[in-house]
């Protein structure tokens, strides 16, 4: 029997299907006791509409692998950070034409206001050029911003640093 950890780690994200929940860093813990599997996941954003589907997919995958009793728990702290996306996950994002996030800001105290463009340096995932610009900090899903390459002129998505 495949371990519960291995089964859960293979489940993919509903909105970024090239990544597993483990690649994305939302799979926090898988434990098994007396035949019951407990999986802990954390939301990327508060309103992430994929949470329900992630739960369902985890339960479904584990039941399919022979684990009859599965409980999926939410963990809220520490809050998810884009820093938790694994190296493998970053490579898969880039291969899918999505620019992976840089280092997330670490702060304490009042959050400084940003009136200019963000300090992030983003390379075009299509042609590799560093000549890119931000179109919008908000994209098709909560976790992505929209950028454009000035060299090849292609638009592309960038996973935001949080």
Q: Which is nearer to other proteins, 92 or 101 (CB)?
A: 101
Residue 149 interacts with which of other proteins, Zn ion, none, CB < 5 to 8 Å by class? Zn ion
The window from 10-18, 19-27, 58-66, 87-95 that contacts other proteins (CB under 8 A) reads 58-66
Minimum CB distance to Zn ion smaller for 82 or for 132 = 132
Q: Who contacts 39 (Cβ-Cβ below 8 Å, separation ≥6)?
A: 4, 8, 27, 29, 30, 58, 62, 70, 71, 72, 73
Binding partner of 119, given other proteins, Zn ion, none, CB within 5-8 angstroms per partner class: none
| Residue 148 interacting partner from other proteins, Zn ion, none (CB closer than 5 to 8 Å by kind) | none
List the one residue from 2, 3, 66, 74 that touches other proteins (CB under 8 A): 74
Please tell me whether residue 32 binds other proteins under the rule CB under 8 A. Answer: no
- Comparison of 91 and 136: residue with beta carbon closer to other proteins: 136
Other CB atoms within 10 Å distance of the CB of residue 160: 20
Binding status of residue 31 toward other proteins by CB under 8 A: no
47 binds other proteins (CB under 8 A): yes
Class of residue 106 by CB neighbours under 10 A (exposed 0-12, middle 13-18, buried 19+): exposed
Distance CA 135, CA 34 (A): 52
CA 19-150-152 angle, 5° bins: 70
- Taking the C-alpha atoms of residue 102 and residue 65, their distance in angstroms, rounded to an integer, is 36
Site for other proteins in 125-154 (CB under 8 A): 135-140, 142, 146
Closest CA to 28 of 81, 67, 68, 64: 81
Q: Number of residues in contact with other proteins, rule: CB under 8 A? A: 41
* Sites of contact with Zn ion (CB under 5 A): 124, 126-127, 129, 149, 151-152
């Amino acid at each position: 029997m495949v371990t519960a950890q291995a089964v859960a780690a293979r489940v993919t994200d509903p909105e970024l299907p090239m990544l597993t929940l483990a690649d994305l860093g939302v799979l926090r813990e898988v434990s098994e006791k007396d035949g019951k599997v407990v999986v802990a996941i954390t939301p990327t954003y508060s309103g992430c509409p994929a949470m329900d589907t992630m739960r369902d997919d985890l339960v479904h995958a584990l039941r399919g692998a022979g684990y009859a009793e599965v409980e999926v728990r939410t963990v809220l702290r520490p809050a998810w950070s884009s820093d938790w996306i694994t190296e493998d996950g970053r490579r898969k994002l880039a291969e899918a034409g999505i620019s992976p996030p840089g280092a997330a800001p670490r702060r304490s105290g009042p959050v400084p206001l940003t009136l200019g463009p963000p300090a992030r340096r983003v390379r075009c995932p299509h042609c590799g050029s560093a000549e890119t610009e931000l179109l919008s900090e908000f994209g098709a899903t909560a976790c992505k911003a929209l950028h454009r390459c000035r060299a090849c002129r292609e638009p592309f998505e960038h996973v935001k640093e949080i």
